[in-house]
Amino acid sequence: MQARDARRNEQIRRNLDRREQELRQDERRVDRRERQLDRRDDYRDDRYYRDNRYYDDDYWNDRDDDDDDDHGSDIAKLLLAGVAGYAVGSMLSGNRQVALNTGDRAVLTLPDGSQQIVRDDNALLYQPGSDVQTETFNDGSTRTTVLRADGSRVVTIRDADTNVLQRTLIRPDGTATRLMDNTNVRPVQVSTLPAPQPVEYSSQPWNEDDLRTALLRESGTDRRFTLGQIRDIPEVRSLVAPVNVPDVTFDTGSAALSSDQAEQLATLGKVIRDSIDQNPNEVYMIEGYTDAVGSNAANLALSDRRAESVALALTEYYQVPPENMVVQGYGEEFLLVPTEGDTRDNRRVAIRRITDLLEQSGS
């Protein structure tokens, strides 16, 4: 088993080296394409997609009624097609069944009965004025390059199952920051992990100093993990404590975030942005939750949208770089208030700084 894992990791590293060489060869072509962009049209299309998808209650009502949105942008259509295609492929190759497909994400039921959310992890990167290029390789892996108006690029390499292998920010001057490197997969033995970090919940808005202290608390381990291990293994995640966001809760069945609510994220946005300015390697996981009303699959998808809504608000209102965030919904699995009822406090989000847990060097 170890020899097989070692061969797999070595093959992945060779593939990544080859693709990085190809990336450098493509830089001139990419620069020429960037100069040809009609940024006003991109802004118009992306702005409609973003605003209507995440900040308009009528959008979610329309989706519940199965109405078609004839005005969606090209990016929206690509996302829907990509997620749907991945869901079908996963069902056929991994003995997983599609429990729910909402178009922008899918919920799969695994052989053990647990459920898994599938979404496009690059969705946060699709900002106004950006050009998205995706290349697919023979092994099914992909390299997506998001070109921005300021000349920077975010390059994400994913495997055939769309799991993120690497994400790198390349600035206009050519300097690069590796944000994620999930190519060296090591098994997790839960019994050897340190005790979880204590969780402090606040029912009142955090002041800046307390929020910074809570959010930037270091983990209790030197071990690094893949993004999938952090998302899927509670004992790994709990090595850093989540910080709840009491300022924002959601209406029943809704992932919409009003502008008034987004303004309540000002302190959080400032703390996160300041930390990234000081350390460009910082990565935060935005977690979404629901109450216990409704089906598990629907709640899982809804909670994931809530996390994405908050992440997009942090980018739009407070200029938090989207490449430094990932989202993850947990549905009704971790109720803040242990009740089966319709409790608003459970329709929430939390933030977790996963920088200290996340493998970024590939070592």
- Which residue(s) pair with 353 in the sheet? 284
pLDDT for residue 1: 56
| Chain segment 228-283, per-residue pLDDT in tens | 999 999 999 999 999 999 999 999 999 999 888 999 999 999 999 999 999 999 99
Beta strand 105-109 with 115-119: parallel, antiparallel or unpaired?
antiparallel
Contact 300, 117 (CB under 8 A): yes
CA separation for the pair 167, 180 (Å, rounded) = 5
pLDDT for residue 270: 97
Average pLDDT over residues 341-357: 96
For residue 190, how many other CB atoms are within 10 A of its CB? 9
Average pLDDT over residues 339-361: 94
Average pLDDT over residues 315-337: 96
The topology under which CATH files domain 190-353 is: 60s Ribosomal Protein L30; Chain: A; (3.30.1330)
Mean model confidence pLDDT for the chain: 81
Contact 304, 105 (CB under 8 A): yes
Least confidently predicted of 92-101, 117-126, 274-283, 353-362: 92-101
Average pLDDT over residues 96-106: 87
Contact 129, 42 (CB under 8 A): yes
- Domains of the chain, by residue range, sit at 2-181, 190-353
- Amino acid identity of 151? G
| Chain segment 77-93, per-residue pLDDT in tens | 444 444 444 444 444 45
